[in-house]
């Protein structure tokens, strides 16, 4: 229902762009924009979609490959913007510039969804379709939010895997990248709640999660300390992809085989730990696929085709999304174990 | 006689000044050659060109027959050039011993440091000039005088063929100067050439064989020291006649403007009593470490007192900061001009107004017209040699810089002006001008505390002299006492009596 | 006399460490284990190395904020090459990374000497430059544990000896060896060689050092090359310890090291600094960061606590210095 | 022409910077095309400038007294967090509407001044090196924000507040005018007031300043008060722009503010530099960063370009500085001859 209300604004921006185009050499963008105003073409090549990721690391590098794949598959004019640091301010700056450029759609994986809301609103006022990923909390402020899964369910997966690996009893501790990271916190809460509800013999040692600061040495150093403070600890889980650090610390203390670790993980970075048994489970979803699906959804919305329950986003796990409260859920959680980790190459 | 150094047509320019204009000079073995001239005439610049600190624009430097158009400090050392720089060039955080030995070691291209050797070198040199400084102290903790002695030791530590001494005696007491001059004469006998720069004419005459006079970057000529006397020398230097007038207090107001009563700070000074009236110029002298600087700092609110009191115009006051001091009309000309007195990268006018910024402002807005007027006046009155008041002060010569610092405090029209060795490194021409100004301000009712080592200077300018020794006030001489013929002798005796006890304690 | 005075300052640091340790032990006796010391040694070893390099730079009157970028550049490039060529030799890793460090350090020195600008700015620029060059022209991929050369992994896990206690083995990390070697070498350089004295001399006053016959340019080349070399070495140890290779780690953690060195009594204006003080400074920072869980502080109070302690220790050490200076009528602002 | 040359010689760094800015501008205009200068893009750029600009001004002030203030961003965020609590009603003392906004603004200013004075007192009373002292206070201020929020963002502000960021005056964002006004005021204060003069003197040689009866402690504290205030204003602008506050927002600005100050000709040893330079550098930085987005550069390439630019600007300053000194020398010699 949002596409139609945006129509006049889009026409406006197209008009100003047209005025500029009269005096200056025509650029591709402006012709497209005016074409859109008249009649929405379905040709992906006519749409400029930009994906703004959080920062540069292996996770988002993989997401970039997914977006590039989309371009190859469909011919959609899609590109990726990578901020210098994982900071909401740089994402806002990039989005501002994109709004001024008048792209058709912006996909964003917000560092801090709350902070991006005014900019998202501004983009939408300018007739730009905005699709987020990993930001279900602000789904009502965007055209669509694409999620690989329901965060609570994914969080419960952490709890379930850990509980199974620990045999249903003992003390455990959980990490997040930082207390400011919303999805991490959501998984953490869901995991702890799941364990509390189902495994009464298990006990989380702290109220709040530990922060590993999104770095392996952070996870490593904190783990050493936790081992000292709680010598009877029996399991760890990490909602940021730094479980390797925990495993390293356990290996160092010869406790890798007795204390299981469940962590968000990239196969490429954690296959060793899965294979030597220091990591019991790795959990993830495929960033490339998520990027693919998000950008494709953005194209669909920009071209007026809409995304509803059952829409196919043309990639594994998102063949038939479930749209609820403006959030399109795929079903794409991945669970790695020593056996299957080699099947993934990201 | 064998020629060691010959300078031919040497020229050097800095922005805004031609510091040296086609200088020709030759210096022989076993000769004490004095350079004389007013502030900023280019003496230090000449030294720096020869020692490899500056690169000459034009001209040749011939050392031991080798011709150089420019040298590095190392080359200069290799040719036997040693320098005691005007700014001493010491290392603040290093110990005295290391400071003395380091040039020698670095020159010898030593790779490994032998700390015993360093101590040995340092001890030798300190014994040689007969002073006892704790060798393990860092230079940053030393008084100016001890720093100067350290720098002298350093230059002596290396076997020089030609030794440049750029105002080496500015912070020394008479006794130390005498000892230094004796050493110079000894060195001369050993065949060294010594180039001695000083503004103290008595020193020059007591050692010099040849005197070269500079004016405005040009050489006026070489003179045999016997052919000159103080009067003719200053005439050549300044191009005019100069005279030190004797100060007599004219002010009729005998109410004390400032009274210092039983002022004490342990280990620095003890039970100091001084009463100052309008128009008084009170000389404060004593050995190094006698606590003069400490006392001055206390009066200016930079050094907490422990007991006793200070009264300004009869009212007891607590001076706990320079701002307070300024409020009470007290000004201080600091001893360490470079670090404490100057804003080296700022313009002359900004330096002049630096103590008066708030007074020159109206509701927070700085009145630049007034500031410029003030600066113009200061430059004119104190005869600062500068292209304009917009010149960066760091490019002036040392003496001219000092004049600006004096000017800055005079501009605040203080009631009591404490001057810690104000004429150090200032030429006679400027000195006379400064004395004249001081007298004039004293006549107008300003009280002045004049800290100095030069007894002659104190005798000429003060109507009362206080001698300190080891933090205690040994004697106070009034105008009547000073008029006695043997006053100067008496003071120097008192000072040396203090010194005797010091040496005893050191042993 | 000299040594006595310096100890005075280090005593304060030791006192802070001891008092803090006592407080932590009261709160949680687990702190009193041997393990604690061994763990702190291991986790702080990399920082110790760069801190010592930075100490040398700061004594010479400079500062370097590019050392983390150099460490990253050196280790990342070296290990990339090793993986590509299948080399598995620790010596080569250290050598190659150290050489890269020397090269980048020399660039720092040349720029500082040429531009005559505060080294803080120059190295701020080169920090960006090195990191940019590395990620743009070499690679920006991450490598996980299994991919790294085996020798690195062994080194990272290696111990000099192990003590077996009831809850597992406690080993003293082998990284202590390079730290000790570097510490001793640096001490020898600073106090027993002329170039070391030259470093102190140019830190005190460059112009005076020149006049005393030193060549500040050469000394500076040495200083930054040395700091670069240590950074290169540190990079390898770091990678070995975390057992993974990232193109964007380390950079951004420079200031904590600067803080550690300054808390250790090194003058930010140069000319003064002690290795033992630096070690104490690093220890304080690490002690703070690695006892938060032991004293049961929840994560959201971490920063408040660390910040407060940092502010207090800076305030105490600086105030001591100020009092000492003021009593000698030395006015440093 | 002659006047221009005279002016250029008077402030060389500034003229180099202006020339450079134009050169970069023209280059970018050629590479990117007209969209760089479209009204849309200009508005968008000027909309982004203020929050960063205020932080850069704060950094500039601290650099000019030979210090550095690493705590500005932590300060801005924590101020924003407290202000957000006022604005969302949790701390509003029963006010509403405009009254609440005014209360919030007062609260923000008081709060930022408190932070600033803490820095100032710490540095002036203990002679702690600013780099280390503010590293400590940065962690401390962050810690306060963290302890209060537990890391979550504080939102639900009354909607009127975001109007501050959205409002426009003469086609340009009001917050940009505010920034420009603040820069002009800071510039005027530094150039024409007694405070400004004392500030430069204190920055140039604090010891001599003390011996001149300038109240060093007061200068230091007021500098950091001002720094804190500017950071606090940045916090307000952030809050109004993003409509929520959170620890860690804008951490990447810290390094950039330092770079901007250097490019803008501030001598980090203190006592030298002008506001104009920094303002131009801020604009230059913004134009380049927008251009980078348009060109879709990778973050590492951006880093590389910042690095190269910094080294180039410094190198150029140095070379031209040397050259002009040489020319001045020659001219002075000619004049004498
Ligand atoms: N580094 C410099 N830069 C610019 N100008 C300088 C520099 N050094 C000296 N000058 C200028 O050169 C001239 C000669 O200075 P110099 O220091 O040689 O004088 P001086 O004879 O030693 O005076 P004083 O007795 O005061 O020490 C002065 O006008 C001074 O301002
Ligand atoms: N052992 C020491 N430790 C620290 N500081 C010392 C020591 N010995 C001397 N000093 C410093 O040096 C000072 C002596 O020099 P100072 O210049 O202050 O005295 P002065 O009376 O002004 O003599 P002059 O002007 O001739 O140098 C001492 O009072 C003290 O401040
Ligand atoms: Mg001189
Ligand atoms: Mg003295």
Task: Supply the CATH number for residue B429's domain.
Answer: 3.40.50.300
* Residue of A81, A82, A87 lying closest to D252 (CB–CB): A87
First to last CA, chain D: 26
Shared domain check, B266 and B234: no
Query: With b meaning 16 or more CB within 10 Å and e meaning fewer, what string describes D239-274?
Result: bbbbbbbbbbbbbbbbbbbbbbbbbbbbbbbbbbbb
Cα–Cα nearest to B448, from B459, B432, B461, B431: B461
How far apart are the C-alpha atoms of B497 and B193, rounded to whole Å? 35
pTM of the model: 0.83
Structure tokens, A268: 């490429």
Mean pLDDT of C119-147: 85
Ligand 2 pocket: which of B144, B287, B289, B453 to mutate (most atoms within 8 A of CB)? B289
How far apart are the C-alpha atoms of B216 and B237, rounded to whole Å? 9
Q: Does residue A235 contact residue A259 with C-beta atoms inside 8 Å?
A: yes
Asked whether residue B340 carries a pLDDT value surpassing 80, the answer given is: yes
Residue-number span of the structural domain to which B109 is assigned: 3-238
C41–chain A Cβ distance below 8 A for any pair: no
How far apart are the C-alpha atoms of B463 and B191, rounded to whole Å? 45
Find the angle CA(A29)-CA(A34)-CA(A38) to the nearest 5 degrees: 145
Q: Does residue C46 contact residue C234 with C-beta atoms inside 8 Å?
A: yes
pLDDT in tens, C56-96: 999 999 999 999 999 999 999 999 999 889 888 889 999 99
Ligand nearest to the CA of B170: 2
Q: What pLDDT, on the 0 to 100 scale, is given for residue A108?
A: 93
pLDDT in tens, C191-217: 999 999 999 999 998 989 988 889 999
Domains of chain D: 2-336 (1.10.3470)
Task: Please report whether residue B359 resides in a domain.
Answer: no
B13-27, B363-377, C160-174: which is most confident = B363-377
Q: How far is the CA of A198 from the centre of ligand 2 (A)?
A: 78
Q: What pLDDT, on the 0 to 100 scale, is given for residue D182?
A: 95
DSSP per-residue letters across C153-222: HHHHH-EEEEEEETTEEEEEETTHHHHHHHHHHHHHHHHHBHHHHHHHHHHH-HHHHHHTT--HHHHHHH
Q: What pLDDT, on the 0 to 100 scale, is given for residue D23?
A: 86
Residue B505, burial from CB neighbour count under 10 angstroms (0-12, 13-18, 19+): exposed
C248–chain A Cβ distance below 8 A for any pair: yes
Q: How far is the CA of B290 from the centre of ligand 2 (A)?
A: 7
Cβ–Cβ gap D214/B353 under 8 Å: no
Q: How many domains does chain B have?
A: 2
Shared domain check, B307 and B191: no
Q: Does residue D64 contact residue D271 with C-beta atoms inside 8 Å?
A: yes
Cβ–Cβ gap A228/C35 under 8 Å: yes
CA distances (Å), origin C266, targets B78, B193, C188, D129, D131? 35, 43, 18, 11, 13
- The question of ipTM being above 0.85 is answered as no
CB of B348 sitting under 6 A from ligand 1 = no
* Residue of C31, C242, C293 lying closest to A248 (CB–CB): C242
CB of B47 sitting under 6 A from ligand 1 = no
The count of other CB atoms within 10 Å of the CB of residue B258 is 26
Distance from CA of D121 to the nearest CA of A (A): 30
Mean pLDDT of B360-365: 86
CB of B312 sitting under 6 A from ligand 2 = no
Q: What pLDDT, on the 0 to 100 scale, is given for residue C324?
A: 80
Beta bridge partners of residue C143, listed in sequence order: C245
Shared domain check, B200 and B109: yes
DSSP per-residue letters across D20-82: HHHHHHHHHHHHH-GGGGSHHHHHHHHHHHHHHHHHHHHHHHHHHTT---TTHHHHHHHHHHH
Shared domain check, B22 and B124: yes
Among B186, B205, B238, the domain boundary falls at: B238
Distance from CA of C65 to the nearest CA of A (A): 18
Write down which chains contact chain B via at least 3 CB pairs under 8 A: C, D
CB of B298 sitting under 6 A from ligand 2 = no
Among B194, B212, B238, the domain boundary falls at: B238
Find the angle CA(C303)-CA(C304)-CA(C306) to the nearest 5 degrees: 60
How far apart are the C-alpha atoms of B60 and B219, rounded to whole Å? 16
Shared domain check, B147 and B11: yes
Phi, then psi, of B156 in degrees rounded to 5: -75, -25
Ligand nearest to the CA of B172: 2
Q: What pLDDT, on the 0 to 100 scale, is given for residue B495?
A: 65
CB of B145 sitting under 6 A from ligand 2 = yes
Task: Please report whether residue B279 resides in a domain.
Answer: yes
Closest chain D residue by Cα to residue C316 = D126
Q: Lay out the sheet containing B58-63: strands in order across.
A: B17-28, B3-14, B58-63, B66-68
Rg (CA), chain C: 20
Cβ–Cβ gap C242/A226 under 8 Å: no
Beta bridge partners of residue B60, listed in sequence order: B8
What CATH number was assigned to the domain covering residues C8-327? 1.10.3470
Shared domain check, B270 and B222: no
Q: What pLDDT, on the 0 to 100 scale, is given for residue A29?
A: 43
Ligand nearest to the CA of B173: 2
Q: Does residue A315 contact residue A295 with C-beta atoms inside 8 Å?
A: no
Q: Does residue B168 contact residue B84 with C-beta atoms inside 8 Å?
A: yes
- Kindly give the confidence (pLDDT) of every residue in chain A, 346 residues in length, as a single tens digit, with 9 standing for 90 and above: 333 333 344 344 444 444 444 444 444 444 444 444 445 667 777 888 999 998 887 788 888 989 998 888 888 889 999 888 778 888 999 998 899 888 889 999 988 888 888 899 989 998 899 999 988 888 888 999 988 888 888 999 999 999 999 988 899 999 998 887 788 889 999 999 999 999 999 999 888 899 888 888 889 888 988 888 888 899 999 998 888 889 988 888 888 888 999 999 888 888 888 888 889 889 888 888 889 999 998 988 888 888 888 888 888 888 888 888 888 888 888 888 888 888 887 7
Q: Does residue B504 contact residue B497 with C-beta atoms inside 8 Å?
A: no
Q: What pLDDT, on the 0 to 100 scale, is given for residue A231?
A: 86
Structure tokens, C73: 């550049």
A87–chain D Cβ distance below 8 A for any pair: yes
Strands B315-317 and B81-84: unpaired
Structure tokens, A271: 């296959």
Query: With b meaning 16 or more CB within 10 Å and e meaning fewer, what string describes B67-91?
Result: ebeebbbbbbbebbbbbbbbebbbb
Q: How far is the CA of B70 from the centre of ligand 3 (A)?
A: 20
Q: What pLDDT, on the 0 to 100 scale, is given for residue A32?
A: 43
Cβ–Cβ gap A58/C292 under 8 Å: no
Residue having the nearest C-alpha atom to atom 22 of ligand 2:
B293
At how many degrees (to 10) do helices C150-157 and A243-252 cross? 60
DSSP per-residue letters across B233-277: HHHHHHSS----PPP-------SEEEEEEEEEETTTEEEEEEEEE
Size (chain D), residues: 337
Shared domain check, B313 and B209: no
Average pLDDT, chain C: 87
Structure tokens, C37: 């010391």
Cβ–Cβ gap B89/C212 under 8 Å: yes
C30–chain A Cβ distance below 8 A for any pair: yes
Of ligand 2's atoms, which has the minimum distance to the CA of residue B453? Answer: 26
Shared domain check, B155 and B128: yes
Ligand nearest to the CA of B38: 1
DSSP secondary structure letter of residue B485: T
Cβ–Cβ gap D251/A93 under 8 Å: no
Closest chain C residue by Cα to residue A177 = C299
Cα–Cα nearest to B123, from B113, B114, B112, B136: B136
CA distances (Å), origin A13, targets A29, A286, C80? 12, 36, 48
CB of B290 sitting under 6 A from ligand 2 = yes
Q: Does residue A334 contact residue A317 with C-beta atoms inside 8 Å?
A: no
DSSP secondary structure letter of residue C32: G
Shared domain check, B319 and B204: no
Q: How far is the CA of B199 from the centre of ligand 2 (A)?
A: 24
Q: Does residue B284 contact residue B276 with C-beta atoms inside 8 Å?
A: no
Shared domain check, B431 and B323: yes
Shared domain check, B294 and B266: yes
Q: What pLDDT, on the 0 to 100 scale, is given for residue B241?
A: 66
Mutate which: C5, C187, C211, vs B, most B CBs within 10 A:
C211
How far apart are the C-alpha atoms of B82 and B73, rounded to whole Å? 10
The count of other CB atoms within 10 Å of the CB of residue D97 is 9
Size (chain A), residues: 346
How far apart are the C-alpha atoms of D97 and C143, rounded to whole Å? 54
Q: What pLDDT, on the 0 to 100 scale, is given for residue B15?
A: 64
Phi, then psi, of A103 in degrees rounded to 5: -75, 170
Mean pLDDT of B245-256: 80
- Least confident piece of the model among B80-84, B206-210, C36-40, C101-105: C36-40
Ligand 2 pocket: which of B92, B95, B131, B143 to mutate (most atoms within 8 A of CB)? B143
Mean pLDDT of B70-81: 88
Q: How far is the CA of B412 from the centre of ligand 4 (A)?
A: 24
Q: Mean pLDDT, 10 residues at a time, over chain D (337 residues)? A: 60 77 84 79 88 94 91 94 88 80 91 94 91 90 90 83 84 91 94 92 92 91 95 93 88 87 84 90 89 85 83 79 70 53
Task: Please report whether residue B335 resides in a domain.
Answer: no
Cβ–Cβ gap B73/C211 under 8 Å: yes
CB of B265 sitting under 6 A from ligand 2 = no
Shared domain check, B261 and B234: no
Phi, then psi, of B262 in degrees rounded to 5: 50, 35
Q: What pLDDT, on the 0 to 100 scale, is given for residue B500?
A: 41
* Residue of D133, D143, D305 lying closest to C302 (CB–CB): D143
Ligand 1 pocket: which of B397, B430, B433 to mutate (most atoms within 8 A of CB)? B397
Q: What pLDDT, on the 0 to 100 scale, is given for residue D332?
A: 55
How far apart are the C-alpha atoms of A117 and A125, rounded to whole Å? 12
Q: What pLDDT, on the 0 to 100 scale, is given for residue C72?
A: 94
Beta bridge partners of residue B195, listed in sequence order: B33, B164
Interface of C with D in 113-142 (CB under 8 A): 114-118, 120-122, 124-133, 135-136, 140
How far apart are the C-alpha atoms of B344 and A174, rounded to whole Å? 59
Q: How far is the CA of C318 from the centre of ligand 4 (A)?
A: 27
Strands D172-173 and D168-169: antiparallel
* Residue of A93, A116, A117 lying closest to D289 (CB–CB): A93
Residue having the nearest C-alpha atom to atom 7 of ligand 1:
B395
How far apart are the C-alpha atoms of B62 and A238, rounded to whole Å? 77
The count of other CB atoms within 10 Å of the CB of residue D27 is 11
Q: Does residue A76 contact residue A299 with C-beta atoms inside 8 Å?
A: yes
- The contacts of residue D331 (CB under 8 Å, 6+ apart) are none
Of ligand 1's atoms, which has the minimum distance to the CA of residue B217? Answer: 14
pLDDT in tens, C224-235: 999 999 999 999
Size (chain B), residues: 507
- The alpha carbon of A274 is separated from its chain's Cα centroid by a whole number of angstroms, namely 23
Q: Does residue C29 contact residue C36 with C-beta atoms inside 8 Å?
A: no
Task: Please report whether residue B206 resides in a domain.
Answer: yes
Mean pLDDT of B477-503: 66
Cα–Cα nearest to A222, from C302, C179, C259: C302
CB of B55 sitting under 6 A from ligand 1 = no
**Element of type H or E holding A235:** strand A233-238
* Residue of B339, B354, B360 lying closest to D201 (CB–CB): B354
Asked whether residue B485 carries a pLDDT value surpassing 50, the answer given is: yes
* Residue of C118, C303, C314 lying closest to D133 (CB–CB): C314
- The alpha carbon of A156 is separated from its chain's Cα centroid by a whole number of angstroms, namely 17
Torsional sign, CA B18, B385, B457, B275: negative
Q: How far is the CA of B440 from the centre of ligand 4 (A)?
A: 26
Query: By a Cβ cutoff of 8 Å, what residues of chain B touch chain C?
Result: 51, 53, 73-74, 77, 83, 85, 89-95, 98, 102-103, 105-107, 109-113, 134, 136-138, 140-141, 293-294, 297, 302-303, 340
How far apart are the C-alpha atoms of B266 and B270, rounded to whole Å? 7
Q: What pLDDT, on the 0 to 100 scale, is given for residue D5?
A: 62
pLDDT in tens, D260-311: 998 888 887 888 888 999 999 999 888 888 888 888 888 888 888 888 888 8
How far apart are the C-alpha atoms of B158 and B121, rounded to whole Å? 10
- Sort out which chain C residues have CB atoms less than 8 A from B106's CB and list them: 194, 197-198, 212-214
Task: Please report whether residue B187 resides in a domain.
Answer: yes
- Least confident piece of the model among B240-249, B394-403, C98-107, C183-192: B240-249
Among B238, B265, B287, the domain boundary falls at: B238
How far apart are the C-alpha atoms of B402 and B400, rounded to whole Å? 5
Phi, then psi, of B310 in degrees rounded to 5: -120, 130
């Amino acid at each position: 229902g949002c596409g139609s209300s945006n129509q006049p604004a889009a026409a406006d921006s197209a008009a100003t762009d047209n005025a500029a185009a009269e005096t200056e050499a025509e650029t591709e963008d402006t012709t497209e924009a005016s074409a859109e105003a008249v009649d929405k073409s379905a040709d992906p090549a006519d749409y400029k979609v930009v994906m703004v990721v959080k920062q540069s690391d292996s996770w988002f590098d993989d997401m970039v490959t997914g977006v590039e794949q989309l371009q190859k598959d469909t011919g959609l004019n899609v590109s990726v913007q990578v901020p210098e640091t994982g900071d909401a301010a740089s994402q806002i700056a990039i989005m501002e510039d994109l709004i001024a450029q008048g792209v058709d759609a912006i996909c964003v994986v917000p560092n801090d969804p709350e902070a991006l809301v005014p900019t998202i609103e501004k983009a939408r006022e300018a007739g730009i379709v905005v699709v987020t990923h990993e930001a279900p909390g602000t789904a009502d402020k965007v055209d669509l939010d694409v999620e690989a899964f329901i965060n609570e369910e994914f969080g419960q997966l952490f709890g379930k895997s850990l509980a199974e690996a620990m045999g249903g009893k003992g003390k455990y501790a959980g990490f997040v990248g930082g207390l400011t990271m919303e999805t991490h916190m959501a998984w953490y809460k869901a995991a702890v709640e799941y364990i509390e509800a189902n495994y009464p013999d298990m006990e989380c040692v702290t109220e709040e999660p530990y922060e590993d600061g999104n770095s392996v040495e952070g996870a490593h150093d904190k783990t050493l300390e936790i081992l000292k403070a709680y010598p009877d600890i029996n399991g760890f889980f990490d909602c940021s992809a730094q479980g390797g650090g925990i495993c390293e610390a356990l290996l160092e203390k010869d406790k890798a085989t007795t204390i299981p670790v469940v962590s968000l993980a990239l196969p490429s970075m954690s296959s060793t730990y899965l294979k030597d048994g220091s990591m019991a489970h790795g959990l993830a979803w495929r960033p490339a696929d998520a990027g693919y699906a998000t950008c494709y959804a953005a194209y669909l919305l920009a071209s007026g085709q809409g995304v509803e329950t059952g829409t196919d986003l043309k990639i594994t796990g998102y063949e038939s999304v479930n749209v609820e409260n403006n959030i399109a859920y795929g079903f794409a959680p991945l669970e790695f174990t020593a056996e299957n980790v080699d099947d993934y190459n990201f | 006689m064998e020629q060691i150094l010959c300078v031919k047509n040497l020229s050097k320019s800095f922005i805004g000044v031609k510091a040296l204009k086609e200088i020709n000079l030759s210096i022989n073995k076993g000769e004490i050659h004095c350079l004389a001239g007013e502030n900023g005439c280019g003496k230090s610049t000449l030294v720096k060109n020869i020692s490899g600190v500056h690169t000459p624009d034009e001209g040749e430097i011939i050392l031991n027959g080798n011709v150089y158009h420019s040298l590095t400090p190392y080359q200069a050392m290799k040719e036997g050039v040693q320098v005691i720089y005007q700014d001493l060039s010491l290392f603040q955080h290093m110990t005295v011993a290391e400071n003395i030995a380091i040039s020698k070691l670095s020159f010898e291209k030593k790779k490994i440091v032998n700390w015993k050797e360093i101590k040995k070198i340092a001890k030798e040199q300190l014994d040689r000039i007969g002073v006892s400084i704790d060798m393990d102290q860092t230079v940053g903790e030393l008084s100016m005088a001890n720093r100067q002695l350290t720098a002298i030791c350093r230059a002596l530590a290396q076997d020089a063929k030609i030794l440049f001494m750029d105002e080496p005696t500015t912070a020394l007491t008479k006794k130390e100067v005498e000892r230094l001059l004796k050493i110079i004469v000894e060195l001369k006998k050993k065949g060294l050439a010594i180039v001695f720069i000083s503004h103290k004419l008595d020193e020059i005459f007591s050692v010099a064989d040849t005197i070269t006079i500079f004016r405005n970057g040009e050489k006026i000529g070489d003179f045999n020291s016997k052919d000159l006397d103080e009067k003719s020398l200053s005439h050549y230097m300044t191009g005019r006649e100069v005279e030190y007038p004797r100060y007599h207090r004219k002010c009729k107001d005998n109410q004390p403007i400032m009274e210092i009563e039983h002022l004490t700070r342990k280990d620095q000074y003890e039970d100091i009593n001084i009463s100052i009236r309008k128009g008084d110029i009170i000389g404060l002298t004593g050995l190094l470490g006698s606590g003069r600087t400490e006392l001055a700092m206390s009066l200016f609110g930079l050094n907490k007192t422990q007991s006793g009191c200070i009264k300004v115009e009869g009212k007891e006051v607590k001076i706990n900061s320079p701002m307070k001091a300024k409020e009470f009309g007290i000004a201080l000309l600091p001893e360490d001009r470079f670090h404490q007195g100057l804003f080296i990268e700022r313009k002359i006018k900004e330096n002049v107004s630096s103590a008066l910024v708030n007074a020159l402002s109206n509701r927070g807005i700085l009145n630049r017209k007034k500031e410029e007027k003030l600066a113009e006046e200061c430059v004119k009155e104190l005869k600062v040699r500068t292209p304009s008041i917009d010149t960066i002060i760091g490019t002036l010569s040392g003496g001219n810089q000092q004049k600006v610092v004096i000017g800055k405090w005079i501009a605040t029209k203080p009631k009591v002006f404490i001057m810690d060795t104000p004429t150090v490194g200032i030429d006679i021409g400027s000195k006379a001008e400064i004395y004249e100004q001081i007298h004039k301000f004293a006549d107008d009712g300003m009280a002045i505390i004049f800290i100095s080592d030069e007894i002659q200077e104190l005798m000429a300018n003060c109507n009362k002299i206080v001698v300190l020794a080891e933090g205690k006030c040994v004697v106070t001489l009034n105008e009547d006492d000073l008029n006695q013929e043997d006053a100067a002798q008496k003071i120097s005796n008192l000072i040396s009596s203090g010194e005797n006890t010091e040496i005893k304690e050191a042993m | 006399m000299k040594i006595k005075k310096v100890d005075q300052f280090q005593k304060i640091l030791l006192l802070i460490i001891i008092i803090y340790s006592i407080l932590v032990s009261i709160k949680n006796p687990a702190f009193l284990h041997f393990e604690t010391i061994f763990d702190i040694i291991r986790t702080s070893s990399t920082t110790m190395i760069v801190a010592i390099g930075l100490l040398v730079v700061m004594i010479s009157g400079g500062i370097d904020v590019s050392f983390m970028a150099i460490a990253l550049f050196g280790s990342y490039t070296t290990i990339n090459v090793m993986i590509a060529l299948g080399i598995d030799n620790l010596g080569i890793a250290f050598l190659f990374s150290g050489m890269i460090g020397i090269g980048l350090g020399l660039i720092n020195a040349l720029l500082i000497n040429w531009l005559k600008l505060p080294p803080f700015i120059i190295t701020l620029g080169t920090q960006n430059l090195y990191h940019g060059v590395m990620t743009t022209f070499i690679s920006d991929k991450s490598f996980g544990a299994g991919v790294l050369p085996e020798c690195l992994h062994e080194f990272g896990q290696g111990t000099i000896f192990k003590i077996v206690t009831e809850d597992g083995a406690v080993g003293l990390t082998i990284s202590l060896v390079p730290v000790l070697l570097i510490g001793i070498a640096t001490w020898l350089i600073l106090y027993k060689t002329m170039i070391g004295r030259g470093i102190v001399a140019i830190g005190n006053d460059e112009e005076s050092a020149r006049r005393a016959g030193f060549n500040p340019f050469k000394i500076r080349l040495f200083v930054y090359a040395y700091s670069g070399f240590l950074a290169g070495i540190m990079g390898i140890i770091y990678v070995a310890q975390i057992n993974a290779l990232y193109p964007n780690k380390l950079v951004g953690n420079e200031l904590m090291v600067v803080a550690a060195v300054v808390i250790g009594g090194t003058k930010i204006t140069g000319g003064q600094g002690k290795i033992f003080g630096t070690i104490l400074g690093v220890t304080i920072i690490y002690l703070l960061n690695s006892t938060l869980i032991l004293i049961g502080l929840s994560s959201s109070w971490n920063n408040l606590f660390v910040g407060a302690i940092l502010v207090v220790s800076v305030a105490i050490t600086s105030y001591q210095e100020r009092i000492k200076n003021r009593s000698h009528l030395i006015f440093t602002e | 022409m002659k006047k221009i040359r005279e002016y250029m010689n008077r402030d060389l760094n500034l003229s180099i910077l202006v020339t450079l800015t134009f050169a970069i501008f023209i280059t970018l205009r050629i590479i990117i095309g007209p969209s760089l200068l479209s009204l849309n893009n200009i508005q968008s750029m000027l909309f982004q400038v203020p929050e960063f600009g205020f932080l850069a001004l704060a950094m500039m002030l601290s650099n000019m007294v030979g210090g550095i203030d690493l705590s500005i961003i932590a300060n801005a965020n924590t101020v924003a967090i407290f202000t957000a609590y006022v604005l969302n009603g949790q701390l509003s003392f029963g006010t509403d509407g405009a009254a609440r906004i005014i209360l919030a603004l007062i609260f923000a200013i008081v709060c930022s001044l408190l932070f600033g004075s803490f820095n100032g007192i710490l540095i002036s009373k203990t002679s702690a090196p600013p780099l280390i002292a503010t590293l400590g206070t940065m962690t401390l201020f962050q810690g306060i924000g963290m302890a209060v929020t537990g890391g979550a963002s504080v939102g639900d502000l009354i909607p009127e507040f975001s109007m501050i960021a959205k409002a426009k005056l003469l086609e340009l964002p009001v917050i940009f005018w505010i920034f420009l006004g603040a820069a002009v005021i800071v510039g005027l204060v530094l150039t024409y007031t007694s405070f400004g003069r004392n500030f430069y003197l204190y920055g140039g040689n604090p010891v001599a300043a003390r011996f001149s009866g300038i109240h060093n402690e007061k200068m230091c504290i007021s500098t950091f008060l001002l720094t804190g205030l500017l950071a606090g204003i940045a916090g307000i602008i952030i809050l109004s722009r993003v409509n929520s506050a959170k620890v860690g927002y804008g951490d990447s600005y810290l390094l950039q503010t330092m770079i901007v100050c250097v490019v803008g000709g501030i001598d980090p040893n203190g006592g030298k530099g002008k506001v104009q330079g920094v303002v131009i550098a801020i604009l230059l930085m913004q134009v380049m960063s927008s251009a980078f987005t348009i060109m879709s550069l990778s973050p590492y390439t951006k880093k590389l370009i910042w690095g190269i630019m910094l080294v180039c600007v410094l190198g150029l300053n140095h070379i031209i500085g040397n050259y002009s000194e040489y020319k001045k020398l020659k001219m002075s010699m000619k004049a004498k001859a």
